[in-house]
Amino acid sequence: MVIIASVNKYSQTMTIFPTHRIAMFSTLSNRTILGENNFPDILRSGGEIGQMKLFLVAVLAILLQCSTATRLCSSSMSAADAFKKHGVVPDVVPNGPLKLVKAVFDSGVEVDCGNVLTPTQVKNPPKVSWDAEPGVLYTLIMTDPDAPSRKTPTFREWHHWLITNIPGNDISKGEVLSEYISSAPPPNTGLHRYVYLVYKQSGKISDPEHGHLPGNSGEKRGGFKAAAFAKKHNLGDPVAGNFYQAEYDDYVPEVYKKLG
């Protein structure tokens, strides 16, 4: 039994609904429940059906609130605001982006201005997109400023992904300088920030000094600086960005095995 309670405002009594009764809610029409003038009738209706109507109204109100409140990035907090709030500015870049990078993983989770995800959820590269201008090339960076921990970031930054010369936002057509490596924060190091940055290029980038880094090696990943890379190639400030946080879970040892 699932215990769900509904309190009658007038009788001060509580009704407990078992799971099988919840199915009855779906038979109630929107007109009956949500009609503008029906709320007094719902509140005054006696018996269990009236109680269920009242409960459903409360549930719908909660769902509507959740649908608009669960996203961390909204009109009330831009990407730039979130970058400042979580210290990505100035730890990674001097100025935050005005637009968002959308990154959705095949596990169903999405990056959202500091939301907490798990290494298990982000094991594979996400689908990434942003508002891109036609005919323009872009650079995408994913980096961790908290290696090995936010308290002692001696390897700041450890970059996980780097693609240049992306036409528009089609990363499949860009030049991969560093292949994707999943988040793999060490145990007992708390939450790490994993930052996505998109830069607008003024022309094609060639960086033989960086070379190509495979996804099965951690060589040359630590000590990277996104801001320094941007300065080296005259990229300016990031035009879009996003980030999530993650800490150690059971998938991390698999990443370490992959890296040798």
Quick: pLDDT tens for 132-189.
999 999 999 999 999 999 999 999 999 999 999 999 999 999 999 999 999 999 999 9
Does residue 74 lie within any of the structural domains? Answer: no
Residues 251 and 208 in one domain: yes
Percent of the chain with pLDDT over 70: 71
Domain containing residue 103: CATH number? 3.90.280.10
Say if CB 86 and CB 78 are below 8 A apart: no
pLDDT given for residue 260 in this prediction:
86
Asked which of 69, 104, 122 is the last residue of a domain, the reply is 69
Residues 237 and 169 in one domain: yes
Comparing 11 with 98, which gets the higher pLDDT? 98
Q: Is the pLDDT of residue 194 over 80?
A: yes
Phi-psi category of residue 47: left, alpha or beta, with phi > 0 → left and psi -120 to 50 → alpha: left
pLDDT band at 78 (very low <50, low <70, confident <90, very high): confident
Average pLDDT, the chain: 82
Domain that holds residue 30: 4-69
pLDDT given for residue 195 in this prediction:
99
Does residue 84 lie within any of the structural domains? Answer: yes
Q: Which of 52-61, 140-149, 177-186, 216-225 shows the lowest mean pLDDT across its residues?
A: 52-61
Asked which of 69, 95, 118 is the last residue of a domain, the reply is 69
Residue 251 has phi, psi (to 5 degrees) of: -80, -20
Residues 48 and 105 in one domain: no
pLDDT tens per residue, range 113-137: 999 999 999 999 999 999 999 999 9
Alpha carbon distances (Å) from 130 to 178, 194, 198, 200, 203: 20, 17, 8, 11, 19
pLDDT band at 227 (very low <50, low <70, confident <90, very high): very high
Residues 39 and 97 in one domain: no
Does residue 133 lie within any of the structural domains? Answer: yes
pLDDT band at 73 (very low <50, low <70, confident <90, very high): confident
pLDDT given for residue 51 in this prediction:
61
Count of structural domains within the chain: 2
pLDDT given for residue 53 in this prediction:
56
Q: Once rounded to an integer, what is the mean pLDDT over residues 38-52? A: 52
Say if CB 150 and CB 193 are below 8 A apart: yes
Q: Length of the chain, please?
A: 260
Say if CB 153 and CB 211 are below 8 A apart: no
Residues 246 and 170 in one domain: yes
Instruction: Give alpha helix (H) positions in 88-131.
Output: 88-91
The residue type of 55 is F
Q: Once rounded to an integer, what is the mean pLDDT over residues 221-228? A: 98
